[in-house]
Amino acid sequence: MKYVGYSLLIVFSLVITLAIIEIVIRLNPGLTPNWYKTIYPPNAIEVFYPGTLAKTPIYGVPVPYNLGPKKVSQKDTVPSDLVKKGLLDVSQNPDLSKYSEIVYRIDKNGFMNPHDYAEPDIVFIGDSFSVAASTIQPKGLLLQLEEITGQNILSIAVPAIGPQREEWLLNNIALPLKPKAIIWFFFAGNDLYEAKRLDNYKKSAIQNYNQIFDIPAVPRIITLDLISKYFDKDVSSIKMKKNKQKNYLPGLQLSKGDKKELLWFLPKYLKRLSKDKTFLYNHKGWKITKEVLLRVSETLNNDDIKFLVVYVPSKPEVYLPYIDKDIILLQDYYTYPRKIRHNERLKLSADSKWQELLKNRNNLEELMKEFCDLEQIPFITVRPQLEELAMKGELGFLSADTHWNEIGQESAAKPIANWINVNLKN
């Protein structure tokens, strides 16, 4: 009888403990681990806020995007999306020795922000490059600009979005805050393609987020689901490691004097440098981008809000002319993930491809500048500042990630701060 009493006490204690954990998690969804969020995309929003995906239009963004808030700064390992894509082994990643950790904070709307501002002076709008600009350690572009200009800056950037969703964020999140200026970051690597992808959704009669995600049934008890998924995750992870085919690529060499740095390019960003101006001009994403920027410019002019478009180039766009010329390795990047034989390399004429990439690499920037000049939209490209780093043999981007590091962001801060100081005088 005594043992039955002990057993009941243990069971009761476990139930109470689980109930307390369940309440804590439901009241603080930001505590949910990142791996769990990937099981219920995007970011397990539907688990905590049922019905959000159905009511969010396909051209919008589910909010709170990253299950905020996290009032306390979070620590994480250095991002390495090229490792995740299989281009290199994690043990090859030079960034691991340079960055012990990344520190950031998530606000109430799920955006990465060092501070909460009810009435910010400036709002950042963009994709993952703008998200990366909001880190606390190393000090990102947002904090750097605040120190230089004295202006309060809030970011509402979201990874992997394009112009239409950025316009939605402007209208639904930024404008109600009544900022003095909007700084709009255009990323050359994928913004045109994201614009076209979203347009394809609309053509397919997809109207909301619920229609594009195959989400498992939302659990009634999150704690139990989290525990069970944790063990499933470990088993799946072991299976994936066993089955994963390794097709790593050597790093490209950036050499200047005694300085030597390794870096990896995302192959699709490298391939996109080959597009000529005619292709880009006729691209559906370019047409959409122009339409969005024209609407945004008119809206902000009517509200007496300053507007700046900042062109952010991709890593290969900046560093291709400055890496050691290795035609065979470049060809391996260009054809990745397919291995090619030597005789196929000859047919593909790698040297002429190298020249084509160099010739066309700035085409999109030139198109954007011509458009902004014609429409009198303030425009800055930060490519020259990043290229100055490349010419000196310094990395303005992470080695094993597509995004810029704090050094590249510091170089970009100078022209942006000049614009802010001229246009937002107190």
Q: Is the pLDDT of residue 348 over 60?
A: no
Distances (CA, A) of 342 to 8, 329, 331, 338, 392: 71, 12, 11, 13, 34
Output the pLDDT for position 338. Answer: 67
SS3 of residue 103 by DSSP: strand
Per the prediction, the chain carries an average pLDDT of 89
pLDDT, mean of residues 34-53? 87
255 contacts 244 by C-beta, under 8 angstroms: no
Whether residues 250 and 348 fall in one domain:
yes
Matching residue, tokens 């350690």: 137
Given this model, what pLDDT does residue 226 score?
84
Q: Which amino acid is at 414?
A: K
Over the range 341-366, which residues count as b (16 or more CB within 10 Å of their CB) and which as e?
eeeeeeeeebeebbeebeebbbbbbe
Name the nearest CA neighbour of 126 among 315, 292, 269.
292
Same domain, residue pair 25 and 44: no
State residue 79's pLDDT score: 92
Pick from 33-42, 149-158, 188-197: least confident: 33-42
Across 1-10, 15-24, 258-267, which has the greatest mean pLDDT?
A: 258-267
Which residues are CB-contacts of 14 (< 8 A; sequence separation ≥ 6)?
none
Both structure tokens of 127:
């994709």
- CA 303 to chain centroid, in Å, comes to 29
Q: What pLDDT, on the 0 to 100 scale, is given for residue 238? A: 41
241 has pLDDT over 70? no
Per-residue pLDDT averaged across 78-93, rounded?
Answer: 93
Q: Are residues 260 and 185 in the same domain?
A: yes
How many CB atoms are located within 10 Å of the residue 127 CB?
25
pLDDT range class, residue 4, cuts 50, 70, 90? low
- 69 and 22 in a common domain: no
| Rounded average pLDDT over 1-10 | 63
- CA torsion sign for 276, 280, 282, 284 is positive
Count up the domains in the chain and report the number.
Answer: 2
Which domain covers residue 1, as residue numbers?
A: 1-29
Q: Are 122 and 424 in contact (CB under 8 A)?
A: yes
Percent of the chain with pLDDT over 90: 64
Backbone angles phi, psi at 153, to 5 degrees: -125, 135
Q: Which amino acid is at 281?
A: Y
CATH number of the domain encompassing residue 248: 3.40.50.1110
Total count of residues recorded for the chain? 426
**145 and 2: one domain?**
no
Is the domain of 91 the same as that of 58?
yes
Same domain, 266 and 347: yes
Kindly state whether residues 101 and 17 are assigned to the same domain: no
For every residue of 147-192, DSSP letters joined together read HHH---EEE---TT--HHHHHHHIIIIIGGG--SEEEEEEETTTHH
Question: Are both 51 and 25 inside the same structural domain?
Answer: no
Helix (H) or strand (E) holding 76: strand 70-76
Do both 198 and 324 map to the same domain? Answer: yes
The residue-averaged pLDDT of 406-425 equals 96
Using CA atoms, how far apart are residues 43 and 128, in angstroms rounded to an integer?
15
Q: Are 3 and 83 in a shared domain? A: no
pLDDT at 394: 96
* Same domain, yes or no: 116 and 23: no
Which amino acid belongs to residue 131? V
| The overall pTM is greater than 0.85 | yes
Say yes or no to pLDDT of 372 above 60. Answer: yes
Task: Report the half-sphere exposure of 198 (CA within 13 A, side-chain side).
Answer: 25
Amino acid letter, residue 341: R
Asked if 162 and 195 touch (Cβ cutoff 8 Å), the reply is: yes
Is 10 a residue whose pLDDT tops 60?
yes
Compute the distance between CA of residue 298 and CA of residue 291 in angstroms, rounded to an integer: 11
